[in-house]
Amino acid sequence: MLRDKKFVVGSDQKVYPYHRNMPLIFIGGVPRSGTTLMRAMLDAHPEVRCGQETRVIPRILQLRSHWLKSEKESVRLEEAGITKEVMNSAIAQFCLEVIAKHGDPAPRLCNKDPLTLKMGSYVIELFPNAKFLFMVRDGRATVNSIISRKVTITGFDLTSYRQCMSKWNHAIETMHNQCKEIGRDKCMMVYYEQLVLHPEEWMRKILNFVNVPWNESVLHHEEFINKPNGVLLSKVERSSDQVIKPVNLEALTKWVGNIPDDVVRDMADIAPMLSILGYDPYANPPDYGSPDSWVQDNTFKVKANQKLWEHKAKEILKRDEPQQEDNSNPDDTDLPDGGGVGFGSNSIGNDVRVNDVEKEKT
């Protein structure tokens, strides 16, 4: 008989079991929406470990969706004895092994592969006691970040704000619907702007939602960067150079003035999800609210020491130059036209295409 529970032994010699019924934490959202900040703040908590994006978990979930969409393939799987139960068990164990072993063990495990939320209801089927934190950010800020930082996404035209806003609208709508389907007891919407403006208020809400005791360390994630059992950063994730800083307001309104006038004029029609999520599509900039005084102080200090932070980012991440993403890189975010799911870890859509799999081989 297969054991239902497995375990890992930490450097503290404690035994940490992991199993399908454990209360996993998943952080989801459209890329460039604050998912890295969220995981960094949670990683600063002594009882939680999220770690870097695994990249493989969304891929295996997408492959399963692809297999089941084909009636012929579903029949073949059934005939081979690959029942729903067999597949679910195998996928769950694969995901668990990756989550449990790609970083240090901890009492509470967390995963930050943002696009797992696309398949959120299935994730909850695999892990019934898991919960999602759905990071939501003003789509104009998200798209400006994607374009300005040259985040290559197949299907996104980085020369067109209009087209990228439309793509964002489709992606966030899919995730919003998944979060609603999962239910409020399993999926909490976290607005990036409010997390940044009022970190303590929102981190208290978040920790209460995931049943983790309060700890002040979550308000000072920058003190735990690349420290043992702290916030380990990836040299290739686009947000790593930002989360080395304390919580600040720098990124809130960087998008203002960068969006073409015709797109600003038509924003409500291009991206109706802005209004649904509570953002004013006609406000440039919107009034997100007033920050806590200590966050404002952080912002002043960050702005006054830009060169210092740039140097620190290079030291921590060992970068000589800003990261550039290559369109031919198989790990690029992939969103084919027509809403298809690509094979990349940041794919947004509903179907896997053969062409996308072939691109992975080249």
53 is known as an active-site residue: yes
For residue 17, which phi and psi values (nearest 5 degrees)?
-75, 155
Residue 350, both tokens: 């509903």
Report how far apart, in Å, the C-alpha atoms of 180 and of each of 169, 176, 347, 353 are.
16, 6, 21, 27
Residue type, 126: L
Give every strand in the sheet of 187-191, ordered side by side. 48-49, 108-111, 25-29, 131-136, 187-191
Task: List helix spans (H) across 50-149.
Answer: 56-69, 71-79, 84-101, 120-126, 139-148
- Identified catalytic residue from 47, 53, 85, 250: 53
Q: How many Cβ atoms sit within 10 Å of the Cβ of residue 355?
A: 11
Find, among 198, 238, 245, the residue nearest to 221 by Cα.
245
In a 13 Å sphere around the CA of 188, the CA atoms on its Cβ side amount to: 21
Strands 6-9 vs 15-18: parallel, antiparallel or unpaired: antiparallel
SS3 145: helix
Residue type, 113: D
Could you tell me how many helices (H) and strands (E) the chain has, helices first? Answer: 16, 9
Beta-bridge mates of residue 352: 341
**Residues tagged active-site:** 53
